Structure 1
Amino acid sequence: MRDAGTRIDDVPPVERTERGLVWLARAGLRPTRQRAALAALLVGDGRDRHVTAEWLHQAAEDAGERVSLATVYNTLRAFCEAGLVREITVDGSRSYFDTRVDDHPHFYWEDTATLSDAPAADLEIARLPEAPPGAEIAAVDVVIRLRRT
């Protein structure tokens, strides 16, 4: 489920690892073996991506890393809490993890079950409803579902 044009294998392993370690350090996360390996897969080529935990687990296995799916989920949650990735939920049941953490809309491609960035400059939200008493709006996620014609 790599974004179009991404070829992480074109980046030398040492460079991928170094980028991953810098990414973890920036957030103050301890670089355990699993975190370092998953970080290298997520950001090692310097590109943003949208992944599922299952994709990341398979990518880790393909890279020869021994890591359980539960560890992948726990690590992604830690990355979310540290502000390194954002979780985007589609259909209330499928989560994607986005390494681009600024506010921006997404396209969800129904036929391939993939997520991609949508152009933020074209999105206009004129007004949001007021939050109920005792609450504040934490974020607004915009996911535009697409079906190929």
Structure 2
Amino acid sequence: MASGSDYTAEDIEKRVRSAGLRPTRQRVALADLLFAQGDRHLSAEELHEEAVVAGVAVSLATVYNTLHQFTDAGLLRILAVEGARTYFDTNTSDHHHFYIEGENRVMDIEHGPVGVTNLPEPPEGMEIANVDIIIRLRPKRG
């Protein structure tokens, strides 16, 4: 079931199970599509399209539900890039992103000199969990 990677169907099933989720056929199939190709950034619509091409019988609603279950279980990180466009990142480590306008493509920013200073104090009883930086890119004009 692994798409040209070192993952086996058993590895994918264990990954889903170790996240506290029941490894249903649809979850395992979607996890295989998500994780077998290394770190990726996908929208629910893109994953649904990949599933259809791969012959996985799954509705778009099920893809959305599964992506949110995987996010809640810590398998994915959610990126709200554009108003209605949400991407799911298979790399859950702290890192930042480029967003290429017009291509609707998200890329990781390699570890480098990205920093945020002068963050406000969080409200009483709260702590900052993460700071996401998304740098929007477009082709140079002229």
Mean alpha-carbon deviation: is it higher for 47-56 or for 119-128? 119-128
Query: Which of the numbers 21, 24, 31 marks the counterpart of 1:29?
Result: 21
SS in 1 for 2:112: helix
Alpha carbons of structure 1 residues 19 and 122: separation in structure 2 relative to 1, 3 Å: farther
| Equivalent residue number for residue 4 of structure 1 | none
Corresponding residue SS for 2:107: strand
Correspondence for 2:85: 94
Rounded Cα–Cα distance in structure 2 between residues aligned with 1:54 and 1:135: 34
- With over 3 angstroms needed to count, the CA separation of the structure-2 counterparts of 1:9 and 1:31, relative to structure 1, is closer
> How much has 1:11 moved relative to structure 2?
4.2
Label 1:123 to 1:75 Cα distance change in 2 as closer, same or farther (>3 A).
same
TM-score normalized by the length of structure 2: 0.89
- Identity, % of aligned positions: 49
Q: For structure 2, list consecutive stretches of 5 or more residues without a partner in the other structure.
A: none
Cα distance in 2 for partners of 1:9, 1:83 equals: 22
In the aligned structure 1, how far is the partner of 2:43 from the partner of 2:8? 20
Amino acid at match of 2:54: A
Structure 1 runs, 4 residues or longer, greater than 3 Å off: 8-12
Runs of 5+ in structure 1 lacking a partner? 1-7
The C-alpha deviation readout for 1:104-139, integer Å capped at 9, x for no partner, is 000000020110101232212233111133433222
Contact between 1:16 and 1:43, CA under 8 Å: does it hold in 2?
no
Partner of 1:81: 72
TM-score, length of structure 1 as denominator length: 0.85
Residue 131 of structure 1 pairs with residue 125 of structure 2: no
Give the match for residue 41 of structure 1.
Answer: 33
Given that 1:48 and 1:100 are in contact with CA atoms closer than 8 Å, whether structure 2 keeps it comes out as yes
Shift of 1:31: 0.4
The answer to whether 1:116 aligns with 2:107 is: yes
* More off after superposition, 136-145 vs 70-79: 136-145
